[in-house]
């Protein structure tokens, strides 16, 4: 609705009777209750405390955007901003379709299915998916506590979605496809972290795993000698439990194992099958997608939109 039509409606309210105003209020309240995105944006506006450009706390209201959201202007850097500036939702159009789109994310629908269901362009469906996956990808666990399980997963290297392929195409069944190593680590409290590696070397595993380990924790791994080297190089007290396959050890002392992580990997890989191959460049996003759904499944309502409010 344009501003002139809205102004006309506002002016006509003065001519309504008390009963008509009451009915109008009731209908407006019903519409507001249905607009989950509008509620989330309104709550976000209440948390604005500084300019996203220069972090100055000196700003003032500066009209509204075309979508009706409050605009602000910083008194120091003179730049304007809204509650969505710097977030994944910034300049995303069609807000009336955002909630329906996030429902498609919960259902793990394909891009073509989403494009047809929401009547949007396939490119728009692709862009929205990876916009909404940026924040979960960036907000993975940075520290693991207590009993920590770590292991690597391997997926075939893929250039799906790339405009250029830096190698000759391979014929089906001809030769071995290079594998992409992925370090996955979790603790028993439910915190999970993941890192897509270029090579499965001790240095790369150490660079990804060391920042996650906390003092006096217990690290459970398979028999990979790289983990033994990583623990030796640490300057903090870490108890390392190695589950060596040749020794047929799956559980040590009744509680130390990597079965929780292996179970997570199995569910994740089974979920990935529906996409018929994922480009290596987007692999981090798809791990974050599954992890986010696992951690938020008890509180589905609007959590994708709320997560997208974080700066990316």
| Domains of the chain, start order | 86-138+299-312 (no CATH), 147-278 (3.30.420)
Buried b or exposed e, range 187-197, using 16+ CB within 10 angstroms = beeebbbbbbb
3-state helix, strand, coil in the chain (%, to 5): 45, 20, 35
Buried b or exposed e, range 106-133, using 16+ CB within 10 angstroms = eeebebeebbebbebeeebbeebbebbb
What is the structure's pLDDT at 300? 63
Beta bridge partners of 194: 184
Residues with Cβ within 8 Å of residue 22, at least 6 apart in sequence: none
Q: Which runs of E-coded beta strand occur in 247-288?
A: none
What is the structure's pLDDT at 291? 93
Q: Which runs of E-coded beta strand occur in the chain?
A: 59-64, 70-74, 80-82, 147-156, 179-187, 192-196, 217-222, 238-243
- Per residue of the chain (312 residues), give pLDDT as tens: 666 777 777 778 878 787 877 777 777 666 655 567 877 788 888 888 899 999 999 999 998 887 778 899 999 999 999 988 988 888 888 888 998 999 899 999 999 999 999 999 999 999 999 999 998 888 889 999 999 999 999 998 888 877 777 777 777 766 677 899 999 999 999 999 999 999 999 999 999 999 999 999 999 999 899 999 999 999 889 999 999 876 677 889 989 999 999 999 999 999 999 998 899 999 999 999 999 999 887 676 678 888 888 776
Angle of CA points 296, 87, 102, to nearest 5°: 40
CA distance linking residue 285 with residue 133, whole number of Å: 6
Pairing verdict, β 179-187 and 238-243: unpaired
**CA neighbor of 125 nearest in space, from 117, 115, 135:** 115
What is the structure's pLDDT at 60? 93
In this predicted model, what pLDDT tens digit does every residue of 3-23 receive, in sequence order? 677 777 777 887 878 787 777
Contact 302, 132 (CB under 8 A): no
């Amino acid at each position: 609705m344009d501003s002139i039509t809205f102004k006309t409606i506002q002016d006509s309210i003065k001519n309504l009777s008390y009963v008509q105003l009451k009915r109008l209020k009731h209908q407006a309240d019903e519409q507001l209750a249905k607009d989950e995105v509008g509620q989330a944006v309104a709550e976000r506006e209440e948390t604005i405390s500084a300019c996203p450009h220069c972090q100055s706390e000196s700003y003032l209201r500066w009209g509204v955007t075309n979508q009706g959201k409050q605009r602000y202007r910083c008194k120091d850097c003179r730049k304007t901003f809204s509650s969505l500036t710097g977030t994944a939702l910034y300049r995303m159009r069609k807000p009336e379709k955002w909630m329906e789109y996030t429902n498609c994310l919960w259902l793990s629908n394909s891009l073509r299915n989403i494009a047809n269901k929401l009547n949007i362009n396939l490119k728009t469906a692709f862009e929205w998916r990876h916009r909404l996956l940026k924040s979960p990808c960036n907000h993975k666990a940075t520290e693991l506590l207590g009993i920590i399980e770590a292991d690597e997963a391997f997926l075939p290297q893929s250039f799906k979605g790339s405009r250029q392929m830096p190698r000759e195409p391979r014929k089906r069944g001809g030769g071995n496809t290079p594998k992409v190593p992925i370090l996955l680590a979790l603790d028993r409290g439910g915190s999970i972290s993941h890192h897509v590696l270029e090579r499965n070397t001790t240095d790369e595993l150490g660079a990804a795993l060391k920042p996650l380990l906390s003092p006096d924790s217990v690290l459970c791994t398979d028999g990979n000698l790289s983990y033994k080297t990583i623990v030796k190089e640490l300057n903090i007290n870490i108890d390392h439990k190695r589950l060596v396959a040749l020794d047929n050890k799956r559980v040590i002392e009744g509680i130390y194992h990597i079965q929780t992580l292996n179970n997570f990997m199995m569910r994740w890989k089974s979920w990935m099958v529906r996409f018929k191959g994922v480009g290596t460049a987007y692999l981090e996003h798809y791990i974050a997608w599954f992890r986010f759904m696992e951690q938020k499944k008890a509180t589905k309502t609007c959590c994708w939109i709320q997560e997208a409010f974080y700066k990316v």
